[in-house]
Amino acid sequence: MERLTGTFKVKSGLAEMLKGGVIMDVVNAEQAKIAEKAGAVAVMALERVPADIRAAGGVARMADPKKIKEIMDAVTIPVMAKCRIGHFVEAQILEALGVDYIDESEVLTPADPEHHIDKWQFKVPFVCGARDLPEACRRIAEGAAMIRTKGEAGTGDVIEAVRHMRLMNKQIRIVRQASDEELVALGKEWGAPVEVLRLIKELGRLPVVNFAAGGIATPADAALMMQLGCDGIFVGSGIFKSENPEKRARAIVLATTYYNDPKVLAEISEDLGEPMPSISAARLPERELLQVRGN
Partner 1 sequence: MRIGVLGLQGDFREHLAVLRSLGVDARDVRTRAQLDEIEGLIIPGGESTTMAYLLEKMGMLSVLRERGEQGFPIYGTCAGMILLARELNDAYPEHRLALMDIAVKRNAYGRQLDSFEADIHIKDIGKFHAIFIRAPKIVRVGPGVEILAEHDGAPVLVRQKNLLASSFHPELTGDSRVHEYFLKMVTKG
Contacts with partner 1, residue ranges (CB under 8 A): 1-7, 9-10, 13-14, 16-21, 36-42, 76-78, 95, 98-101, 123-125, 253-254, 256-258
Q: Which residues pair with 127 in a beta bridge?
A: 103, 146
Question: Pseudo-torsion of CA 85, 249, 212, 144, nearest 10°?
Answer: 40
Q: Output 38 or 45, the one with its CB closest to partner 1.
A: 38
Rounded CA gap, 90 and 140, in Å?
Answer: 20
Q: How far is the CB of 18 from partner 1 (least distance, A)?
A: 7
* Nearer Cβ to partner 1 (156/238): 238
Which residue is catalytic, options 67, 82, 119, 241? 82
Query: Closest distance between partner 1 and the C-beta of residue 90, in Å?
Result: 17
Coil, strand or helix at 269: coil
- Choice between 60 and 253, CB closer to partner 1: 253
Q: 84, 77, 65, 195: which is closest to 129 by C-alpha?
A: 84
Query: 147 in helix, strand or coil?
Result: strand
Q: Write the CA distances from 11 to 40, 42, 123, integer angstroms.
A: 19, 15, 8
Cα angle at 140 between 295 and 136, to 5 degrees? 45
Alpha-carbon distances, residue 66 vs 28, 101, 107, 209 (angstroms): 10, 17, 20, 30
Least distance from C-beta 92 to partner 1, angstroms? 13
If the CB atoms of residues 20 and 193 are measured against partner 1, the closer one turns out to be: 20
Shortest distance, position 62 Cβ to partner 1, whole Å: 18
Nearer to partner 1 among residue 9 and residue 170 (C-beta) = 9
Q: How far is the CB of 78 from partner 1 (least distance, A)?
A: 6
Cβ atoms of 102 and 91 within 8 Å: the answer is yes
Cα four-point dihedral sign 84, 85, 87, 93 = positive
- Residue 82 catalytic? yes
Residues belonging to the active site: 82
